[in-house]
Structure 1
Amino acid sequence: MEQAGLAAATHDVSLWALFMQAGFIVKLVMLGLLGASVWTWAIVIDKYISFAKARRQFSQFEQVFWSGQSLEELYRSLAERNNSGLAAIFVAAMREWKKSFERGARSPIGLQMRIDRAMDVTMAREAESFEARLGSLATIGSAGPFIGLFGTVVGIMTSFQAIAGSKSTNLAVVAPGIAEALLATAIGLVAAIPAVIAYNKFSGEAGKLSSRMEGFADEFSGILSRQIDEKLQPRQAAE
């Protein structure tokens, strides 16, 4: 009776004690997964803030763009700023527009292609910034449970080796080692589940913002196409 009480007293099953009692490889797995969990939440917070800022900037720019303000005035107010999103696409298109006319552009098709290309390059760069670090979330979400499972397998193997050495299958002897091993899987799930949820959410957000950029680029391309016809057709007719 006293021996059973002593055995129970010597096995602390708190989370910290389970971590400290784990083997080197299992500890390494746990620490790696905890680091991945911290990195996941850092990305989540950063992306939440950056996407909220992007949505606000998109709405503000669209409000100004469709307010009736002239394109030249809007370009002058944005040209020297560090723009992003729709403003960056607008500035890239207007910069190509002005450069082409300053150099005496004569081909409407060539000018339209250069403007569209400038907007496409800017859109690709902006979309890349929206998707930055989402790959890390996908990796953590997919690999986290398997890394935790690896730690669990190693821990269970170590526990069975200890059981074989002690030649005892008493639950009080077996349980702490199994608990240490399963803790690795639990930490893997703690890291992976938020990563998967965040990846799905922010991938959707990035897709919506990219769609808004594409829609604006198409509308703005149509506006510029009409202005190109108005400016170049009289010049071609005079020639």
Structure 2
Amino acid sequence: MQEYVELGEELVFVAMGVASVIALAVFAERLIYYKKTLGKKNESYLSEVRNSLQEEPEIHWKTDAGEESIYTRFIQFALRQLKLGRKGLDESLEGQILSEKLELEKRLPILNTLGNNAPFIGLLGTVLGVIKAFYGLGTLGSSGAEVVMRSISTALLATAAGLAVAIPVVMANNYFSRKAKVILQNLEILKKELLSYQMNKTKV
């Protein structure tokens, strides 16, 4: 049984290492994606579009925000729908928002899962380490105190590793989730203003 405990303890540290690598890869991928999606010129472009919807009789927007900008994609999609004069603009824009939401939240469940479970994996390592320590204490008696202390130290290290992985992962997940929420709220605002624009244009 002791062999399985030692193997489990080693696997916990391996799992922590793999989890940290996966979390780092997801963080880097999402950071690059959000940087492309939200360039520096996006906020000014968003304000320009909203002002055009509210003030100008026709909308012809040009932007250097970049084709990969989420707002650029959304506005270009809306303009195509308006030019074609299709009905059901509300449903079309809502579908586009849902499509963008899927992209914004892509891989975030991985961070969420790692952030929620890393402490428990570390705790499992601690439990296994304590079992190992008490087994050594029962086998070696008082003469094995040094070995027992080392085992307990390693056990506590597993919990520390779990927290070291979980805390930054949770922070990263919250950061990207907040970014996604703000973007989606802006898209909802744009949708409402575009529908209002279409309604006013129809009345004219």
Q: TM-score, normalised by structure 1?
A: 0.70
Pairing 1:193–2:177 present: no
Q: How does 1:120-159 map to 2 (within 5 A)?
A: 120-159=94-133
Q: Which residue of 184, 199, 209 corresponds with 2:183? A: 209
Q: Which residue of 78, 82, 93 corresponds with 1:93? A: 78
Q: How does 1:79-90 map to 2 (within 5 A)?
A: 84-90=69-75
Pairing 1:35–2:9 present: no
Residues 51/69 of structure 1: CA separation in 2 closer, same or farther (3 Å cut): farther
Q: Look up the equivalent residue of 1:228 and give its one-letter code.
A: T
Unaligned runs of 5+ in 2: none
CA distance in 1, matches of 2:166, 2:196: 45
Pairing 1:59–2:43 present: yes
Percent identical among aligned pairs is 28
Structure 1, residues 164-214: CA drift from partner, whole Å, max 9, x if none? 122235431211111222221111111101011112222111111111111
Residues 120/31 of structure 1: CA separation in 2 closer, same or farther (3 Å cut): same
Shift of 1:97: 2.8
Structure 1, residues 16-40: CA drift from partner, whole Å, max 9, x if none? xxxxxx9211111111111111222
Q: Look up the equivalent residue of 1:131 and give its one-letter code.
A: E
Q: TM-score, normalised by structure 2?
A: 0.81
Structure 1, residues 14-71: CA drift from partner, whole Å, max 9, x if none? xxxxxxxx92111111111111112222222333333233232633643663576953
| 1:180 corresponds to | 154
